[in-house]
Each structure stands twice: as C-alpha cells, then as structure tokens.
Amino acid sequence: MASWREALRKTRRTVRRGLGTLFGGGRPSEEAVEELEENLLAADLPARLAMELVETAEASGGDGLREGIERRLIEELGPAAPVSWAEAPRPMTVLLVGANGSGKTTTAAKLARRAAGNGRKPLLCAADTFRAAGTEQLALWAERVGCDVVRGQRGSDAAAVAYDAQQAALARGADTLLVDTAGRMHTREPLMRELGKISRALEKGREHAPEETWIVLDASIGQNAVAQAKFFHQAVPLTGAILTKLDGSAKGGAVFAVRRELGIPLLYAGLGEGEEDLAPFDPESFVRSIFEEDDEGV
Ligand SMILES: Nc1nc2c(ncn2[C@@H]2O[C@H](COP(=O)(O)OP(=O)(O)OP(=O)(O)O)[C@@H](O)[C@H]2O)c(=O)[nH]1
C-alpha cells in the first residue's frame, strides 16, 4: 500500500518550497513567513487557517514552530473516524456518489476488498447504466478483488438495478452491498434527482437502506470539492466522504475545508491507483506527511 509520506509528496513540496530554515529553530524571517503564507494558500489550505498559522509563525521564537503548526492542524481535523466493518450493520448497503471521474468505481472495488478483508461478504453493484464501459470497468475490478458483481442493462433504470442488486445481496447472503453510481455533474438537476430515486428504491427494498451514502471527491480539484459535495448533500444526505487522488494532488490542504465545511466524517483517502491504495483517513499521518522533511530534504 502506498504510504502517506509517498502519496503526499506533491502537497509537501508545495508547502515546504523555499522555506529554508523556517523550521530549523531561530526567529523566522519576514520573507520566510511570507513564503509560508503563499505556500499554504498554494496547497489550498483555507485562507482563514493559513492566516492563523502565519500569525503563529510571526509570534514564534522559532523553537517548536513546526510541531505547533502540526498540532493545530491535527486538532482542526478532529479525531479519526474509521469505518468499523466488524460493527457495521449486517446487511448494509453503501451508496457511492460523486462527479465524473472522481474515482467511484476504483474506490468501490477498494472498499469491497477491505470489507472482505474484515470478514464481510461484499457484493458490488454497477448502477452506472449510461456507459457500458463504466459497468465493464467495475466488472474487471470485481474480478481482480474476487467479489461478485451485479449489473444492469445499458440504458435501464439505475434505481431498478440498485433495487435488484439489494434483493440479490439478500438472496446470496452478501452482507455488504456497494452501489457504484454513474458520475454526474452537480449542476445537472435531473441527474441529481436520479440519486434520490436510487436511494428511495434501496429503502423500498429494505428498511433503513442505504445505511451509508458516501461521496467520492477528487482531491486534485482542491476546495472546489466542497461546493460540489454540497450539491450532492442536497440530493441525498451524505454520511461520509472519501478523498481520492491525494497522491496526484498538490492541493492536499483542501482536506481542511472538506472536513470543516461539510460536517461529515472523512473516512478514507485514495493514495494511489492500486487496489490496496485506500487508507483510513488519519489526521496525524496526513498532517505530519505534509510538514516533515523527506529524505531529499524537501
Ligand atoms: N492516483 C490515483 N488515481 C486514482 C485514485 N482513485 C481513482 N484513480 C484514477 O482515477 C481515474 C478515474 O477513476 P474511476 O474509478 O473510473 O472514476 P469514476 O468516478 O468511477 O468515473 P465515472 O464513472 O466515469 O464517473 C482512474 O484512472 C483511476 O485509476 C487515487 O486514489 N489515486
């Protein structure tokens, strides 16, 4: 599995660029503090938070500055909120939603693998009825992670496919249904309404379903992910967020806006394209990987 440090290389470089001796002890120079401010904003930290850290640096005598900043940021993210697969209800349905290409299909497969690794019996549902390729891709992933998949006909009703998959899960004794939906632009109202329809179809099939509705957000779009997620939240109440492609993004600071403004737990982070590259979101590993010097001194 990709490590946090490896994955957050781009964000770390953005944050640490040109900081020289800022974290080396000694009173920070004005230039170094200015550089810090620019870097934090470039890494897409919310401006409010960046200002606060700059003030901390200005007031600091230098000693323990990095540790102080890290502590503040870890506190800002709040405690980790890991998914407890052992304690989660059985059966459980998880609806995955998000924009085009945000990483839903890949994440669905990664989650199936995790669920299976934690003693559950997952079933994947391809409720993307727009693109045959989308369904095909999930089927390939399912094979790779050794999980069954239920798919609908192209052009069929996504809500009906999800309903049938839930019945199939009950019939086959699968306790964790992961429903992969088609990617959609948050501004396309009919498509957003379809999410509500899928969710209601699941509830019709089984009371309390879907137990979870998780949004899959692409970290490379930075804080724009927040606005996007708010539209989805209106269409279907979200219970958690997964941030993908942190490894390809220099805008990892967006995590703070996502956490604070959405008010839903950050469950997992996508740290690579492989089936194992999904890590329970860990505020401490995240923050430390951004500020700690790496082997190349950056
Ligand atoms: N580097 C990296 N790439 C990722 C991650 N998650 C997904 N991807 C890549 O992002 C691309 C899109 O992923 P998909 O899973 O197909 O996205 P999707 O949301 O299902 O796409 P649509 O169904 O078309 O909306 C693929 O090339 C994935 O390999 C991640 O955490 N890190």
Return the CATH architecture of domain 92-281: 3-Layer(aba) Sandwich (3.40)
pLDDT in tens, 53-74: 999 999 988 888 999 999 999 9
- Residue 71 Cα to ligand 1 middle (Å): 32
Question: Could you tell me the residue ranges of all domains in the chain?
Answer: 4-79, 92-281
Instruction: Determine phi and psi for 65, rounding to 5 degrees.
Output: -65, -50
Q: Which helix (H) or strand (E) holds 137?
A: helix 132-145
End-to-end alpha carbon distance in the chain? 22
218 ligand 1 Cβ < 6 A: no
Average pLDDT over all residues of the chain: 93
**74 C-alpha to ligand 1 centroid (Å):** 27
Q: pLDDT tens for residues 191-204?
A: 999 999 999 999 99
Distance 104 CA to ligand 1 centre (A): 6
Instruction: Note the residue count of the chain.
Output: 298
pTM: 0.95
Distance from the CA of 83 to the center of ligand 1, in angstroms?
A: 21
| Alpha carbons 136 and 75: distance in angstroms, whole number | 42
- Separation between Cα atoms, residue 224 and residue 205, nearest integer Å: 35
Q: How far is the CA of 18 from the centre of ligand 1 (A)?
A: 32
Q: Which atom of ligand 1 is nearest to the CA of 101?
A: 21
Q: What is the dihedral of CA 85, 90, 96, 102, to 10 degrees?
A: 20
106 touches ligand 1 (CB under 6 Å)? yes
For the domain covering 4-79, report its CATH number. Answer: 1.20.120
Above 0.95 for ipTM, yes or no?
yes
- CA–CA distance, 209 with 2 (Å, rounded to integer): 33
Ligand 1 atom with the smallest distance to the CA of 102 is: 19
With a 6 Å cutoff on the Cβ, whether 128 touches ligand 1 is: yes
Among 10, 100, 106, 217, the mutation site with the greatest number of ligand 1 atoms within 8 A of its Cβ is 106
Hey, do 4-79 and 92-281 end up sharing a CATH topology, with the first three levels equal? Answer: no
- Binding site membership of 46 for ligand 1 (Cβ less than 6 Å): no
- Any ligand 1 atom below 6 A from CB of 156: no
CA of 273 to the centre of ligand 1 (A): 7
**pLDDT given for residue 293 in this prediction:** 79
- Backbone phi, psi, residue 294, to 5°: -100, 180
Tens of pLDDT, residues 109-135: 999 999 999 999 999 999 988 777 888
The C-alpha torsion from 285 through 286 and 288 to 293, rounded to 10°, is: 110
**Which atom of ligand 1 is found nearest the CA of 269?**
31
The rounded distance, in Å, linking the Cα atoms of 37 and 21 is 15
Q: Where are the beta strands (DSSP E) in 182-294?
A: 212-218, 240-244, 266-270, 278-280
Banded model confidence at residue 296, pLDDT cuts 50, 70, 90: low
Question: What is the Å distance from ligand 1's center to 199 Cα?
Answer: 23
Tell how far the Cα of 19 is from the centroid of ligand 1, in angstroms: 33
Q: Which two tokens stand for residue 107?
A: 């994440």
Least confident segment among 16-25, 147-156, 212-221, 245-254: 16-25
Does pLDDT of 298 surpass 60? no
